[in-house]
Structure 1
Amino acid sequence: MRSFRRNRLVVPALLCALTLLVTPPADASGDGKDSTDRNGGGTGGDLGLGAQVAQLYEDAALATQRYEAGRQQAEVQRAKAQRIETLLERERRQIGVLHEDLGRIARAQYRSSGGMPLTAQLILAKSPDQLMRGQHVFSQTNLAVNNAIEKNRRAEARLATDEAKAAAAWQILDKRNAELAELKKGIEQKLEAARWQLQGQAEASVAAGSCAGAIRLDQQQKDFTTEWVAPVESYELSAGFGSGGSRWANRHTGQDFAVPIGTPVRAVGDGRVARVSCGGAFGMEIVVRHADGYYTQYAHLASVAVDQGERVDTGQWIGQTGTTGNSTGPHLHFEVRVTAQMGSALDPVPWLAARGVQLG
C-alpha cells in the first residue's frame, strides 16, 4: 500500500503535473472516409485506408508520448513526495517526544506540589516570596504546556489537511494515466485492424497483378539535414544481405527491416520513381533511381504512395510496409542495385554507411 501522507508543498506540484495530461490525443474515428489528398490522388474507401493507417500511427505515437510524459512526471513527483514523507515522519517523531516531555512535566509538577490546591500552598508557604515564586513557576509551566499542546494540535490538523489534498491529487493523476493507457490501447486496436485490412487489399492487387494507384499519405513537413536517410524511421534489422536458407532461391539480395504492416516507407534519397509494380516474389514494390545512378528497391509493400515517373525527395513517404509476395511476415525488403533489374544488387548496409546512414 502506498502511503498518501504528503506535505502541502507537493500538492501544487502534483496538480501542475496533471496539466501534461489534460489534452487527449486526436481521436481517430476510423470511419474509412478519405479527404482530398495533397497530390490530387483519387478518393474513396480503398485510398482512404492507407491514409487512415498512417494517421493511426501518428495518433498512437502521440498517445504514447503523452502517457510517458505523464508517467515520468508522476515518478518525479512521487520521489519528491517520498522525500517529504521522510521529513514528516521526523516531525511526527518530534511531536511524540514532545508529548512524552509534557507527560514528564505534568508528573514532575504533581510530585513537586505543583498540582496542590492554592489554599494548601497558602498554608504551607514559609514566606510571601516563596508563595509568589511557586505561583509564577506554576503559571509559566501551565502556559508552556498549553502553548505546546496548541502548537501540536495545529500541526496535526495541517498535516491531516495536506494528506487529504495529496491523496486527491494522486487519485486524479492515477485516473488520468489510466484513461490515457485505455485511449492508447484503443488506438492500437484500431491500428491493428486497419493494418490487416490494408494488407488484404494489397494481396488482392497482387493477385490481380496490377496496383490500384498511388495512395497519397498526409506526411508532416520535415526538413532533413542529411541527403540520405534509412528507409524506415524505427525498425529492427532481420535478414541481411547474402543470407542463405529455404526462403530464397539463391542468396538474400537485400536488407530486411522488421516493422509492422502500414509503417511509412521513406525514399532514402532524392530521385525519380523508375517502377511501381504488383505481383511476383516481391509483391507490391517500388524502385527509385537516384542522381548518382544507383537504384533502391522497396518490396513486400501494402500500399504505394507515388506513381511511376514521379519525383521524390529524401525522407518522403513513398509507401507502406506489408507482407505481400514471397514474405513470411510483415517487413520491408530493401535493395540497392546498379540497374533497375534483379541480379545487380549490392549490400545496402555499407552503401548507406558510405552516405552517412548507420543502420542498427
Structure 2
Amino acid sequence: MTAAQAAPVNPSDADLSAAQSSQDAAAAEVGRLAALLSGAESDLERVMVQAEAVSEADRVAQGELEAAEEHAAATAAELQAAQQAVTVARADVATVGRERYMSSGDLAGIAALLSATGPDQLLEGAATLRLLADQRTATLEGLRIAESAQVEADSRAQEAVADRAQAAQAAAAAKAAADEQVTVFQATTDALAAQRATIETQLQQAQVQLLALQGQRNAYQAWQQQQAREKAEAEAQAAAAAKAAAQAAATARAAAKAAPPAAVTTPVTKTAQPAAGPKRAPAPDVVDAPAPRPLTGGGGSGSGGVAPTSGRFTTCFEMRWGVMHNGVDIAAPTGTPIYAPVAGRVVRAGTASGYGLAVYIEHDDGSVSVYGHINDYFVTAGQRVSAGTVIAEVGNTGESTGPHLHFQVNTAGLHSGAVDPIPWLAANGVSMGGRCR
C-alpha cells in the first residue's frame, strides 16, 4: 500500500469570504474612482478650451496694444512736426516784427507812398505794404493751427495708449486666472489617476489572494474525493476478498463431506468473513470519460467523439467572480492524457499568455477547441488529428491554481465566440456527466 497523502491546506469559509469582500470592495472603489476621474477629465477638457479662448483674447489684446503703441509713435512724430511748425511760425512773426520795427512802423510806409515820384512807384509801394500785412496774418494763423494740431495729436496718442494698455492688462489677468484654473484641474485629475492606479493594484492583489484560496479549497475538495474513492475501492476489495474466502470455505466443506472418512480427521477451520462497511457513493462531479480510440497520429477524420480527459469539474461555463468563465475546468493529476474529442487540424501549439501552454484545434464545422494550462503537448501546427489522438497532458502552467484542463470552444476564430462546450461535446457524441452537463 502506498503511504497516505497528507491533507492539503483547506482555507476556512471566513477566509474565503474575507478575500471575496476585499476583492468586491476594491472593485467598487475602482469603479467609483473611475467615475470621478471621468468627470475630472471632462472638467479639465472644458477649462482647457476656455483657457485657449482666453489666451487667444490675450494675444489679440497684446496685438492691439502694439498697434496703439505704433500709432502713438506716429502721433509723436506728428507732434514733433507740429512743434517744429510752431517754432518756424514764431520765427516768422519775429522776423516780421523786426522788419516793421526797422521800417519805423506804418508812418514810414505812408511816407514812402507820399514820396513816390509817379503812379507806378505809388502802386508798387502800396502792394508791398499789403504783402507784408498778408504775410503777418498767414504766419499768425499757421501758429494757431500748429498749436491746435499739437494738442489734438497729443490727446489722441494718450487716449489710444491708455485704452489698449487697459485692455491688455485685463486680458493678461484673465489668462493668468484661466491658467491657474487649468493647473488646479490638472492636479485634481492627476491625483485621481494616481489613486485609481493604487486601488487597481490592490484589486489585483485581492484577486490573486482569492484565486489562491479558491485553488487551495479546490485542491482540498479534490483530495477529499480522492480519499473517498480510495476508501470505497478498499472496501470493495475487502468485500471481494471476504466473498472469495467464504466461497473457498464452502468448497472445502463440500469436499470434506464427499471424501471418505480417514483415520485422522483434520478439522476445517472456518475463515472469518470481515464485515463489509457501507459503500460510499462515488465523488460528485467526476468526468467518466469513455475510453479513447487508439492513437492514430496525424491524419484521418474519425467518427464519433471522445471526452477530452478524465477528472472532476471544478468550474463550468458560467459567471465567476464577476466575469464570464468561457469554458469548463476539469481537475486531474499532472500528466493525465488529453485527447482530441473530434477530428480536426492543429492551428497552434505552444505558449499562450495566461494559459501558459495551450493547443488550438480547428474542426470541420469551423469551431476551435482550446486546451489550456497543459504540462506538455505532442502535436504541431498544421497536423491533422483524429478523435482520440493524445494531443497533450494535464498541467498547471500559466495563471493556474492547480493541475487542471481548461477546455473551451470558440465559434469565431481562435479567441472569439465562446460557447458552452458541454452541448458541443454532446452534439459530437460525448456525454461528460458531472454538474456541468
TM-score by length of 1: 0.42
TM-score by length of 2: 0.35
Task: Indicate the structure whose relative CO is greater, using CA pairs within 8 Å and at least 6 residues apart.
Answer: 1
